[in-house]
Structure 1
Amino acid sequence: MLFMVIFTLTNDIKQIEYQDRHCILRAYIGYVTCPAYNYSFLLQSIYRYLTVVHPNRPFWQSIKFQILLLMSTWIFCFIYPFVFLFKNEIIYIVDNQICQIPLQGSFYMLYLTSNAYLIPISLVIFTYIKLIRYVRQMSKRVVSANTLSRARKELQMVRRIVILVMILVFVCLPYEIFTIMSLFTNAPKYDFRIAYLFVDLSYALVMICLFQFTGPVKTYIMKKLKRPTDIIDVARIG
Protein backbone atom coordinates (compact mmCIF):
# COMPACT_ATOMS: atom_id res chain seq x y z
CA MET A 1 0.00 0.00 0.00
CA LEU A 2 2.78 2.44 0.88
CA PHE A 3 4.52 1.64 -2.40
CA MET A 4 1.34 2.47 -4.31
CA VAL A 5 1.03 5.81 -2.50
CA ILE A 6 4.67 6.63 -3.32
CA PHE A 7 4.11 5.66 -6.97
CA THR A 8 1.02 7.88 -7.17
CA LEU A 9 2.90 10.79 -5.61
CA THR A 10 5.76 10.32 -8.10
CA ASN A 11 3.31 10.40 -11.01
CA ASP A 12 1.75 13.59 -9.59
CA ILE A 13 5.13 15.29 -9.39
CA LYS A 14 6.09 14.20 -12.92
CA GLN A 15 2.54 14.89 -14.17
CA ILE A 16 2.26 11.40 -15.66
CA GLU A 17 -1.35 10.42 -16.38
CA TYR A 18 -1.04 7.18 -18.30
CA GLN A 19 -0.85 3.51 -17.33
CA ASP A 20 2.58 1.87 -17.19
CA ARG A 21 3.23 -1.81 -17.88
CA HIS A 22 3.46 -2.79 -14.18
CA CYS A 23 0.29 -1.01 -13.11
CA ILE A 24 -1.99 -4.07 -13.05
CA LEU A 25 0.76 -6.17 -11.45
CA ARG A 26 1.01 -3.71 -8.56
CA ALA A 27 -2.75 -3.88 -8.08
CA TYR A 28 -2.62 -7.69 -8.04
CA ILE A 29 0.19 -7.68 -5.46
CA GLY A 30 -1.87 -5.31 -3.33
CA TYR A 31 -4.89 -7.61 -3.53
CA VAL A 32 -2.65 -10.50 -2.42
CA THR A 33 -0.72 -8.90 0.44
CA CYS A 34 -3.57 -6.99 2.05
CA PRO A 35 -5.74 -10.06 2.86
CA ALA A 36 -2.62 -12.05 3.72
CA TYR A 37 -1.88 -9.42 6.36
CA ASN A 38 -5.42 -9.66 7.73
CA TYR A 39 -5.46 -13.47 7.68
CA SER A 40 -2.20 -13.51 9.66
CA PHE A 41 -4.18 -12.16 12.62
CA LEU A 42 -6.73 -14.92 12.13
CA LEU A 43 -4.03 -17.61 12.14
CA GLN A 44 -2.65 -16.24 15.39
CA SER A 45 -6.12 -16.27 16.95
CA ILE A 46 -6.74 -19.85 15.82
CA TYR A 47 -3.42 -20.97 17.29
CA ARG A 48 -4.23 -19.36 20.66
CA TYR A 49 -7.69 -20.89 20.62
CA LEU A 50 -6.41 -24.41 19.88
CA THR A 51 -3.75 -24.06 22.58
CA VAL A 52 -6.41 -23.39 25.21
CA VAL A 53 -9.37 -25.46 24.04
CA HIS A 54 -7.50 -28.49 22.66
CA PRO A 55 -4.27 -28.79 24.68
CA ASN A 56 -4.29 -32.59 24.34
CA ARG A 57 -4.05 -32.51 20.55
CA PRO A 58 -0.38 -31.67 19.94
CA PHE A 59 -0.63 -31.93 16.14
CA TRP A 60 -2.92 -28.89 16.04
CA GLN A 61 -0.24 -26.94 17.88
CA SER A 62 2.69 -28.34 15.92
CA ILE A 63 4.83 -26.40 13.48
CA LYS A 64 3.69 -28.68 10.63
CA PHE A 65 0.05 -27.80 11.17
CA GLN A 66 0.83 -24.08 11.47
CA ILE A 67 2.87 -24.19 8.25
CA LEU A 68 -0.03 -26.01 6.56
CA LEU A 69 -2.45 -23.26 7.59
CA LEU A 70 0.02 -20.57 6.55
CA MET A 71 0.58 -22.12 3.12
CA SER A 72 -3.17 -22.57 2.63
CA THR A 73 -3.73 -18.92 3.45
CA TRP A 74 -1.09 -17.70 1.00
CA ILE A 75 -2.36 -20.01 -1.75
CA PHE A 76 -5.86 -18.63 -1.26
CA CYS A 77 -4.58 -15.04 -1.29
CA PHE A 78 -2.70 -15.65 -4.54
CA ILE A 79 -5.62 -17.40 -6.24
CA TYR A 80 -8.72 -15.37 -5.31
CA PRO A 81 -7.68 -12.21 -7.30
CA PHE A 82 -7.27 -14.24 -10.52
CA VAL A 83 -10.89 -13.52 -11.40
CA PHE A 84 -10.06 -9.79 -11.53
CA LEU A 85 -7.33 -10.47 -14.09
CA PHE A 86 -9.36 -12.86 -16.24
CA LYS A 87 -12.38 -10.54 -16.31
CA ASN A 88 -10.27 -7.40 -16.86
CA GLU A 89 -11.86 -5.75 -13.84
CA ILE A 90 -8.63 -3.99 -12.85
CA ILE A 91 -8.47 -0.74 -14.77
CA TYR A 92 -6.36 2.41 -14.67
CA ILE A 93 -8.11 5.21 -12.76
CA VAL A 94 -6.70 8.52 -13.96
CA ASP A 95 -7.85 10.64 -11.00
CA ASN A 96 -6.06 8.34 -8.54
CA GLN A 97 -3.28 7.30 -10.94
CA ILE A 98 -3.43 3.66 -9.89
CA CYS A 99 -4.89 0.45 -11.27
CA GLN A 100 -7.78 -0.80 -9.15
CA ILE A 101 -11.26 -2.25 -9.30
CA PRO A 102 -13.46 0.86 -9.50
CA LEU A 103 -15.86 1.48 -6.63
CA GLN A 104 -19.10 0.93 -8.50
CA GLY A 105 -20.98 -1.42 -6.22
CA SER A 106 -20.18 -4.38 -8.47
CA PHE A 107 -20.10 -8.04 -7.53
CA TYR A 108 -16.31 -8.01 -7.80
CA MET A 109 -15.98 -5.21 -5.26
CA LEU A 110 -18.18 -7.13 -2.80
CA TYR A 111 -16.16 -10.26 -3.55
CA LEU A 112 -12.93 -8.40 -2.81
CA THR A 113 -14.22 -6.77 0.38
CA SER A 114 -15.56 -10.06 1.71
CA ASN A 115 -12.38 -12.05 1.10
CA ALA A 116 -9.92 -9.35 2.13
CA TYR A 117 -11.67 -7.82 5.15
CA LEU A 118 -15.04 -9.17 6.26
CA ILE A 119 -14.18 -12.86 6.50
CA PRO A 120 -10.83 -12.65 8.39
CA ILE A 121 -11.95 -9.85 10.72
CA SER A 122 -15.28 -11.54 11.52
CA LEU A 123 -13.54 -14.85 12.25
CA VAL A 124 -11.00 -13.15 14.54
CA ILE A 125 -13.81 -11.57 16.57
CA PHE A 126 -15.74 -14.87 16.57
CA THR A 127 -12.67 -16.73 17.86
CA TYR A 128 -12.19 -14.12 20.59
CA ILE A 129 -15.80 -14.46 21.76
CA LYS A 130 -15.55 -18.27 21.79
CA LEU A 131 -12.33 -18.09 23.80
CA ILE A 132 -13.86 -15.68 26.33
CA ARG A 133 -16.77 -18.06 26.92
CA TYR A 134 -14.44 -21.03 27.29
CA VAL A 135 -12.17 -19.29 29.81
CA ARG A 136 -15.22 -18.20 31.84
CA GLN A 137 -16.44 -21.79 31.91
CA MET A 138 -12.98 -22.91 33.04
CA SER A 139 -13.13 -20.44 35.93
CA LYS A 140 -16.30 -22.16 37.15
CA ARG A 141 -14.81 -25.65 36.94
CA VAL A 142 -12.14 -27.26 39.06
CA VAL A 143 -8.93 -26.87 37.06
CA SER A 144 -5.32 -26.40 38.01
CA ALA A 145 -4.05 -22.88 38.61
CA ASN A 146 -1.42 -23.29 35.89
CA THR A 147 -4.02 -24.32 33.30
CA LEU A 148 -6.29 -21.41 34.13
CA SER A 149 -3.38 -18.98 34.17
CA ARG A 150 -2.23 -20.17 30.75
CA ALA A 151 -5.74 -19.87 29.34
CA ARG A 152 -6.04 -16.31 30.60
CA LYS A 153 -2.65 -15.48 29.13
CA GLU A 154 -3.69 -16.77 25.71
CA LEU A 155 -6.95 -14.84 26.03
CA GLN A 156 -4.93 -11.69 26.67
CA MET A 157 -2.93 -12.35 23.49
CA VAL A 158 -6.12 -12.77 21.45
CA ARG A 159 -7.51 -9.60 23.03
CA ARG A 160 -4.46 -7.73 21.75
CA ILE A 161 -5.01 -9.18 18.29
CA VAL A 162 -8.60 -7.93 18.38
CA ILE A 163 -7.33 -4.47 19.34
CA LEU A 164 -5.04 -4.49 16.30
CA VAL A 165 -7.91 -5.61 14.08
CA MET A 166 -10.16 -2.87 15.46
CA ILE A 167 -7.47 -0.31 14.63
CA LEU A 168 -7.53 -1.56 11.05
CA VAL A 169 -11.32 -1.38 10.95
CA PHE A 170 -11.70 2.14 12.34
CA VAL A 171 -8.73 3.78 10.61
CA CYS A 172 -9.72 2.15 7.30
CA LEU A 173 -13.23 3.54 7.76
CA PRO A 174 -12.99 5.88 4.71
CA TYR A 175 -12.40 2.89 2.43
CA GLU A 176 -15.36 1.09 3.96
CA ILE A 177 -17.57 4.18 3.64
CA PHE A 178 -16.61 4.67 -0.01
CA THR A 179 -17.36 1.01 -0.71
CA ILE A 180 -20.84 1.32 0.83
CA MET A 181 -21.43 4.63 -0.96
CA SER A 182 -20.64 2.95 -4.27
CA LEU A 183 -23.73 0.76 -3.80
CA PHE A 184 -26.01 3.80 -3.94
CA THR A 185 -24.10 6.66 -5.57
CA ASN A 186 -20.75 7.65 -7.04
CA ALA A 187 -17.75 7.73 -4.73
CA PRO A 188 -15.66 10.94 -4.40
CA LYS A 189 -13.26 11.76 -7.21
CA TYR A 190 -10.11 10.95 -5.23
CA ASP A 191 -11.59 8.05 -3.29
CA PHE A 192 -8.59 5.70 -3.48
CA ARG A 193 -6.11 8.44 -2.61
CA ILE A 194 -8.03 9.23 0.59
CA ALA A 195 -8.72 5.60 1.45
CA TYR A 196 -5.14 4.35 0.97
CA LEU A 197 -3.76 7.24 2.99
CA PHE A 198 -5.80 6.02 5.95
CA VAL A 199 -4.90 2.37 5.24
CA ASP A 200 -1.19 3.21 5.45
CA LEU A 201 -1.86 5.12 8.66
CA SER A 202 -3.58 2.06 10.13
CA TYR A 203 -0.57 -0.13 9.30
CA ALA A 204 1.72 2.37 11.02
CA LEU A 205 -0.50 2.36 14.13
CA VAL A 206 -0.54 -1.44 14.15
CA MET A 207 3.27 -1.53 14.05
CA ILE A 208 3.41 0.89 16.99
CA CYS A 209 0.99 -1.30 18.95
CA LEU A 210 2.98 -4.42 18.14
CA PHE A 211 6.08 -2.67 19.42
CA GLN A 212 4.21 -1.77 22.62
CA PHE A 213 2.76 -5.28 23.08
CA THR A 214 6.01 -7.19 22.41
CA GLY A 215 8.01 -6.78 25.59
CA PRO A 216 11.33 -8.39 24.54
CA VAL A 217 11.47 -6.47 21.26
CA LYS A 218 10.59 -3.22 23.02
CA THR A 219 13.29 -3.79 25.65
CA TYR A 220 15.91 -4.68 23.02
CA ILE A 221 15.20 -1.62 20.88
CA MET A 222 15.12 0.72 23.87
CA LYS A 223 18.53 -0.60 24.97
CA LYS A 224 19.91 -0.04 21.47
CA LEU A 225 18.55 3.50 21.42
CA LYS A 226 19.83 4.23 24.90
CA ARG A 227 23.38 2.93 24.32
CA PRO A 228 24.62 5.82 22.10
CA THR A 229 23.32 8.29 24.68
CA ASP A 230 25.25 6.48 27.43
CA ILE A 231 28.41 6.54 25.28
CA ILE A 232 28.05 10.28 24.67
CA ASP A 233 27.54 10.92 28.39
CA VAL A 234 30.67 8.90 29.26
CA ALA A 235 32.65 10.80 26.64
CA ARG A 236 31.52 14.10 28.08
CA ILE A 237 32.50 13.03 31.60
CA GLY A 238 35.91 11.89 30.37
Structure 2
Amino acid sequence: MIISLIIAIGLSICSLLIIIFDTTCHTLPMMLVANSSLTQILFATVLLMMTIFSLENDIKQRYYYDLFCIIRGYLSYASCTAMNYSFLLQAIYRYIIVFYPINLFWQSKRIQMLLVVVTWMFSYIYPFAFIFTGDITYNSSNQLCQIPLHLSFSLLFVIFNGYLGPVVAIQIIYLKLVRYVKEISKQAITTRNNLPRIRRELKMVRRIVTITAILVILGLPYTSFLFMSFFTEPPTYYYRISSIFTNPSLIFIMIALFQFTDPLKSFVLRKINFRRETVVPTIGQR
Protein backbone atom coordinates (compact mmCIF):
# COMPACT_ATOMS: atom_id res chain seq x y z
CA MET A 1 0.00 0.00 0.00
CA ILE A 2 2.87 2.34 0.79
CA ILE A 3 4.47 1.64 -2.59
CA SER A 4 1.23 2.34 -4.45
CA LEU A 5 0.84 5.68 -2.68
CA ILE A 6 4.44 6.65 -3.42
CA ILE A 7 3.92 5.80 -7.10
CA ALA A 8 0.71 7.85 -7.16
CA ILE A 9 2.50 10.82 -5.60
CA GLY A 10 5.35 10.48 -8.10
CA LEU A 11 3.00 10.40 -11.08
CA SER A 12 1.08 13.39 -9.75
CA ILE A 13 4.27 15.38 -9.26
CA CYS A 14 5.40 14.50 -12.79
CA SER A 15 2.14 15.71 -14.30
CA LEU A 16 2.30 18.91 -12.29
CA LEU A 17 5.90 19.60 -13.35
CA ILE A 18 5.05 18.96 -17.00
CA ILE A 19 2.21 21.47 -16.84
CA ILE A 20 4.44 24.04 -15.14
CA PHE A 21 7.44 23.81 -17.46
CA ASP A 22 5.84 22.87 -20.80
CA THR A 23 4.55 26.05 -22.45
CA THR A 24 2.00 24.11 -24.52
CA CYS A 25 0.28 23.23 -21.24
CA HIS A 26 -0.17 26.84 -20.17
CA THR A 27 -3.89 26.90 -20.92
CA LEU A 28 -6.97 27.19 -18.76
CA PRO A 29 -8.06 23.54 -19.13
CA MET A 30 -4.56 22.42 -18.18
CA MET A 31 -4.63 24.74 -15.19
CA LEU A 32 -7.65 22.78 -13.97
CA VAL A 33 -5.79 19.53 -14.61
CA ALA A 34 -2.87 20.89 -12.58
CA ASN A 35 -5.31 21.59 -9.78
CA SER A 36 -6.43 17.95 -9.87
CA SER A 37 -2.81 16.79 -9.79
CA LEU A 38 -2.05 18.99 -6.80
CA THR A 39 -5.09 17.78 -4.88
CA GLN A 40 -4.11 14.20 -5.59
CA ILE A 41 -0.59 14.83 -4.31
CA LEU A 42 -2.01 16.11 -1.04
CA PHE A 43 -4.58 13.33 -0.70
CA ALA A 44 -2.05 10.59 -1.43
CA THR A 45 0.43 12.19 0.98
CA VAL A 46 -2.15 12.21 3.78
CA LEU A 47 -3.00 8.57 3.10
CA LEU A 48 0.71 7.76 3.12
CA MET A 49 1.18 9.43 6.51
CA MET A 50 -1.82 7.54 7.88
CA THR A 51 -0.47 4.25 6.55
CA ILE A 52 2.99 4.86 8.02
CA PHE A 53 1.46 5.75 11.39
CA SER A 54 -0.64 2.59 11.33
CA LEU A 55 2.32 0.42 10.31
CA GLU A 56 4.58 1.93 12.97
CA ASN A 57 2.01 1.35 15.70
CA ASP A 58 1.44 -2.21 14.51
CA ILE A 59 5.15 -2.99 14.60
CA LYS A 60 5.64 -1.47 18.04
CA GLN A 61 2.26 -2.79 19.23
CA ARG A 62 1.15 0.62 20.42
CA TYR A 63 -2.49 1.56 20.81
CA TYR A 64 -2.62 5.28 21.34
CA TYR A 65 -2.87 8.42 19.26
CA ASP A 66 -1.60 11.97 19.32
CA LEU A 67 -2.84 15.33 18.08
CA PHE A 68 -1.38 14.66 14.64
CA CYS A 69 -3.62 11.62 14.31
CA ILE A 70 -6.69 13.84 14.64
CA ILE A 71 -5.19 16.32 12.16
CA ARG A 72 -4.47 13.53 9.68
CA GLY A 73 -8.08 12.42 9.97
CA TYR A 74 -9.25 15.95 9.25
CA LEU A 75 -6.84 16.29 6.31
CA SER A 76 -8.03 13.00 4.83
CA TYR A 77 -11.57 14.37 4.53
CA ALA A 78 -10.43 17.80 3.34
CA SER A 79 -7.96 16.57 0.70
CA CYS A 80 -10.36 13.93 -0.62
CA THR A 81 -13.07 16.57 -0.97
CA ALA A 82 -10.68 18.93 -2.78
CA MET A 83 -9.71 16.16 -5.21
CA ASN A 84 -13.31 15.29 -6.03
CA TYR A 85 -14.24 18.93 -6.54
CA SER A 86 -11.22 19.44 -8.80
CA PHE A 87 -12.73 16.95 -11.24
CA LEU A 88 -16.09 18.68 -10.90
CA LEU A 89 -14.48 22.00 -11.85
CA GLN A 90 -13.16 20.44 -15.05
CA ALA A 91 -16.64 19.18 -15.89
CA ILE A 92 -18.21 22.57 -15.11
CA TYR A 93 -15.73 24.31 -17.40
CA ARG A 94 -16.67 21.99 -20.28
CA TYR A 95 -20.34 22.57 -19.50
CA ILE A 96 -19.86 26.34 -19.70
CA ILE A 97 -18.05 26.09 -23.04
CA VAL A 98 -20.91 24.09 -24.54
CA PHE A 99 -23.93 25.92 -23.15
CA TYR A 100 -22.46 29.43 -22.86
CA PRO A 101 -19.84 29.68 -25.62
CA ILE A 102 -20.31 33.43 -26.04
CA ASN A 103 -20.14 34.25 -22.35
CA LEU A 104 -16.41 34.82 -21.92
CA PHE A 105 -16.82 36.00 -18.34
CA TRP A 106 -17.30 32.50 -16.93
CA GLN A 107 -14.57 31.15 -19.21
CA SER A 108 -11.97 33.63 -18.00
CA LYS A 109 -8.94 32.53 -16.00
CA ARG A 110 -9.85 34.91 -13.21
CA ILE A 111 -13.26 33.33 -12.64
CA GLN A 112 -11.96 29.78 -12.95
CA MET A 113 -9.17 30.55 -10.49
CA LEU A 114 -11.75 32.01 -8.15
CA LEU A 115 -13.76 28.79 -8.37
CA VAL A 116 -10.61 26.80 -7.60
CA VAL A 117 -9.94 28.94 -4.53
CA VAL A 118 -13.56 28.62 -3.39
CA THR A 119 -13.50 24.82 -3.66
CA TRP A 120 -10.23 24.65 -1.73
CA MET A 121 -11.59 26.91 1.00
CA PHE A 122 -14.80 24.89 1.24
CA SER A 123 -12.93 21.57 1.26
CA TYR A 124 -10.64 22.56 4.12
CA ILE A 125 -13.13 24.59 6.16
CA TYR A 126 -16.22 22.39 6.39
CA PRO A 127 -14.53 19.40 8.15
CA PHE A 128 -12.42 21.65 10.39
CA ALA A 129 -15.08 21.74 13.10
CA PHE A 130 -14.81 17.97 13.55
CA ILE A 131 -11.43 18.48 15.22
CA PHE A 132 -13.06 20.35 18.11
CA THR A 133 -16.41 18.57 18.32
CA GLY A 134 -14.80 15.21 19.02
CA ASP A 135 -16.36 13.56 15.96
CA ILE A 136 -12.95 12.37 14.75
CA THR A 137 -11.93 9.62 17.15
CA TYR A 138 -9.14 7.07 17.37
CA ASN A 139 -9.84 3.56 16.08
CA SER A 140 -7.31 1.22 17.69
CA SER A 141 -8.15 -1.74 15.43
CA ASN A 142 -7.36 0.20 12.26
CA GLN A 143 -4.80 2.51 13.89
CA LEU A 144 -6.27 5.72 12.50
CA CYS A 145 -8.45 8.65 13.43
CA GLN A 146 -11.76 9.01 11.61
CA ILE A 147 -15.41 9.70 12.17
CA PRO A 148 -16.78 6.38 13.48
CA LEU A 149 -18.78 4.38 10.96
CA HIS A 150 -22.34 4.59 12.22
CA LEU A 151 -25.40 6.59 11.31
CA SER A 152 -24.64 10.15 12.38
CA PHE A 153 -25.05 13.67 11.08
CA SER A 154 -21.29 14.22 10.87
CA LEU A 155 -20.74 11.16 8.72
CA LEU A 156 -23.65 11.95 6.42
CA PHE A 157 -22.43 15.53 6.14
CA VAL A 158 -18.98 14.37 5.04
CA ILE A 159 -20.36 11.80 2.60
CA PHE A 160 -22.59 14.32 0.86
CA ASN A 161 -20.15 17.23 0.74
CA GLY A 162 -16.97 15.33 0.02
CA TYR A 163 -18.13 12.45 -2.13
CA LEU A 164 -21.73 12.20 -3.30
CA GLY A 165 -22.12 15.89 -4.11
CA PRO A 166 -19.29 16.28 -6.64
CA VAL A 167 -19.64 12.78 -8.11
CA VAL A 168 -23.38 13.12 -8.71
CA ALA A 169 -22.89 16.63 -10.14
CA ILE A 170 -20.36 15.29 -12.66
CA GLN A 171 -22.82 12.60 -13.73
CA ILE A 172 -25.59 15.18 -14.16
CA ILE A 173 -23.35 17.38 -16.31
CA TYR A 174 -22.43 14.41 -18.48
CA LEU A 175 -26.05 13.35 -18.95
CA LYS A 176 -27.08 16.91 -19.84
CA LEU A 177 -24.31 17.09 -22.44
CA VAL A 178 -25.35 13.74 -23.93
CA ARG A 179 -28.93 14.92 -24.16
CA TYR A 180 -27.85 18.21 -25.71
CA VAL A 181 -25.75 16.45 -28.35
CA LYS A 182 -28.71 14.26 -29.30
CA GLU A 183 -30.98 17.29 -29.59
CA ILE A 184 -28.57 19.40 -31.61
CA SER A 185 -27.87 16.50 -33.98
CA LYS A 186 -31.48 16.69 -35.13
CA GLN A 187 -31.36 20.40 -35.90
CA ALA A 188 -30.44 22.27 -39.06
CA ILE A 189 -27.09 22.00 -40.83
CA THR A 190 -26.11 25.49 -39.73
CA THR A 191 -26.41 24.37 -36.14
CA ARG A 192 -24.41 21.24 -36.86
CA ASN A 193 -21.35 23.37 -37.46
CA ASN A 194 -20.97 23.47 -33.69
CA LEU A 195 -21.52 19.73 -33.31
CA PRO A 196 -17.84 18.66 -33.56
CA ARG A 197 -16.88 21.14 -30.85
CA ILE A 198 -19.71 20.01 -28.59
CA ARG A 199 -18.84 16.37 -29.13
CA ARG A 200 -15.24 17.15 -28.26
CA GLU A 201 -16.30 18.69 -24.96
CA LEU A 202 -18.61 15.74 -24.34
CA LYS A 203 -15.66 13.44 -24.88
CA MET A 204 -13.64 15.35 -22.29
CA VAL A 205 -16.44 15.12 -19.73
CA ARG A 206 -16.79 11.42 -20.50
CA ARG A 207 -13.13 11.04 -19.62
CA ILE A 208 -13.69 12.84 -16.33
CA VAL A 209 -16.59 10.48 -15.63
CA THR A 210 -14.27 7.55 -16.34
CA ILE A 211 -11.68 8.87 -13.89
CA THR A 212 -14.25 9.33 -11.14
CA ALA A 213 -15.69 5.91 -11.96
CA ILE A 214 -12.29 4.38 -11.19
CA LEU A 215 -12.39 5.98 -7.76
CA VAL A 216 -15.99 4.90 -7.21
CA ILE A 217 -15.45 1.29 -8.30
CA LEU A 218 -12.26 0.73 -6.32
CA GLY A 219 -13.85 2.53 -3.39
CA LEU A 220 -16.80 0.14 -3.31
CA PRO A 221 -15.45 -1.90 -0.37
CA TYR A 222 -15.23 1.20 1.83
CA THR A 223 -18.61 2.41 0.56
CA SER A 224 -20.11 -0.99 1.35
CA PHE A 225 -18.74 -0.90 4.89
CA LEU A 226 -20.02 2.65 5.20
CA PHE A 227 -23.61 1.79 4.34
CA MET A 228 -23.37 -1.42 6.34
CA SER A 229 -22.56 0.67 9.41
CA PHE A 230 -25.96 2.38 9.15
CA PHE A 231 -27.64 -0.90 10.06
CA THR A 232 -25.04 -3.06 11.77
CA GLU A 233 -21.44 -3.15 12.90
CA PRO A 234 -18.92 -3.11 10.03
CA PRO A 235 -15.94 -5.51 10.06
CA THR A 236 -13.34 -4.68 12.67
CA TYR A 237 -10.60 -4.05 10.12
CA TYR A 238 -12.80 -2.27 7.59
CA TYR A 239 -10.24 0.42 6.77
CA ARG A 240 -7.35 -2.01 6.31
CA ILE A 241 -9.48 -4.05 3.92
CA SER A 242 -10.80 -1.09 1.93
CA SER A 243 -7.38 0.58 1.65
CA ILE A 244 -6.16 -2.42 -0.36
CA PHE A 245 -8.46 -1.19 -3.12
CA THR A 246 -8.58 2.56 -2.45
CA ASN A 247 -4.85 3.31 -2.42
CA PRO A 248 -4.05 1.70 -5.80
CA SER A 249 -7.00 3.58 -7.32
CA LEU A 250 -4.93 6.76 -7.15
CA ILE A 251 -2.37 5.18 -9.49
CA PHE A 252 -5.06 4.24 -11.99
CA ILE A 253 -6.52 7.74 -11.80
CA MET A 254 -3.16 9.30 -12.67
CA ILE A 255 -2.57 6.83 -15.50
CA ALA A 256 -6.01 7.70 -16.87
CA LEU A 257 -5.23 11.39 -16.47
CA PHE A 258 -2.07 10.99 -18.55
CA GLN A 259 -3.92 8.92 -21.14
CA PHE A 260 -6.92 11.26 -21.43
CA THR A 261 -5.08 14.59 -21.26
CA ASP A 262 -3.65 15.15 -24.74
CA PRO A 263 -0.94 17.71 -23.80
CA LEU A 264 0.43 15.41 -21.09
CA LYS A 265 0.27 12.43 -23.40
CA SER A 266 1.95 14.37 -26.22
CA PHE A 267 4.75 15.51 -23.91
CA VAL A 268 5.50 11.96 -22.81
CA LEU A 269 5.42 10.68 -26.40
CA ARG A 270 7.74 13.48 -27.53
CA LYS A 271 10.25 12.57 -24.85
CA ILE A 272 10.07 8.88 -25.76
CA ASN A 273 10.53 9.61 -29.48
CA PHE A 274 13.38 12.02 -28.73
CA ARG A 275 15.24 9.36 -26.79
CA ARG A 276 14.72 6.84 -29.57
CA GLU A 277 16.02 9.27 -32.17
CA THR A 278 19.02 9.99 -29.97
CA VAL A 279 19.85 6.35 -29.29
CA VAL A 280 19.48 5.08 -32.87
CA PRO A 281 22.14 7.38 -34.45
CA THR A 282 24.51 6.59 -31.59
CA ILE A 283 24.16 2.87 -32.22
CA GLY A 284 24.57 3.45 -35.96
CA GLN A 285 27.86 5.31 -35.43
CA ARG A 286 29.26 2.38 -33.50
- The verdict on a shared fold, with TM-score over 0.5 as the criterion, is yes
2:260 corresponds to 1:231: no
Structure 1 residue identity aligned to 2:207? R
The alpha carbon displacement at 1:86 in A equals 2.6
Match of 2:41 in 1: none
> What is the 5 A alignment of 1:1-238?
1-142=47-188, 143-225=190-272, 227=275, 231=279, 234-235=282-283, 238=286
Count of aligned pairs between the two proteins: 238
Q: What percent identity do the matched residue pairs reach?
A: 47
Is the contact made by 1:93 and 1:100 (CA closer than 8 Å) also made in structure 2? yes
The whole-number CA distance in structure 1 between the counterparts of 2:269 and 2:48 is 26
* Cα gap change, 1:130 to 1:189, in 2 (>3 Å): same
Please list the CA deviations of residues 66-101 of structure 1 after superposition, one character each: whole Å capped at 9, or x if unmatched. Answer: 112111111111111023123111111111111111
The alpha carbon displacement at 1:27 in A equals 1.0
* Cα gap change, 1:16 to 1:235, in 2 (>3 Å): farther
The whole-number CA distance in structure 2 between the counterparts of 1:196 and 1:123 is 25
The whole-number CA distance in structure 2 between the counterparts of 1:111 and 1:28 is 14
The whole-number CA distance in structure 2 between the counterparts of 1:182 and 1:77 is 24
The whole-number CA distance in structure 2 between the counterparts of 1:11 and 1:230 is 50
The DSSP-based 3-state class of the residue aligned with 2:106 is: helix
The DSSP-based 3-state class of the residue aligned with 1:154 is: helix
Please list the CA deviations of residues 87-130 of structure 1 after superposition, one character each: whole Å capped at 9, or x if unmatched. Answer: 11111111111111111222211111111111100000001111
The alpha carbon displacement at 1:237 in A equals 6.1
Structure 2 residue identity aligned to 1:207? M
The whole-number CA distance in structure 2 between the counterparts of 1:36 and 1:112 is 12
Q: Give the TM-score taking structure 2 as reference length.
A: 0.77
The alpha carbon displacement at 1:138 in A equals 1.5
Structure 1 residue identity aligned to 2:104? P
The DSSP-based 3-state class of the residue aligned with 1:61 is: coil
Q: Does 189-198 or 155-164 show the bigger shift? A: 189-198
The whole-number CA distance in structure 2 between the counterparts of 1:198 and 1:2 is 14
The whole-number CA distance in structure 2 between the counterparts of 1:22 and 1:177 is 28
The DSSP-based 3-state class of the residue aligned with 1:59 is: coil
The DSSP-based 3-state class of the residue aligned with 1:82 is: coil
The whole-number CA distance in structure 1 between the counterparts of 2:102 and 2:269 is 39
The whole-number CA distance in structure 2 between the counterparts of 1:229 and 1:105 is 60
The alpha carbon displacement at 1:230 in A equals 5.4
Is the contact made by 1:168 and 1:199 (CA closer than 8 Å) also made in structure 2? yes
The whole-number CA distance in structure 2 between the counterparts of 1:122 and 1:163 is 13
Please list the CA deviations of residues 187-223 of structure 1 after superposition, one character each: whole Å capped at 9, or x if unmatched. Answer: 1111112223322121111111112112332243244
The whole-number CA distance in structure 1 between the counterparts of 2:49 and 2:241 is 15
Please list the CA deviations of residues 25-67 of structure 1 after superposition, one character each: whole Å capped at 9, or x if unmatched. Answer: 1111111110110011111111001101111111011111111
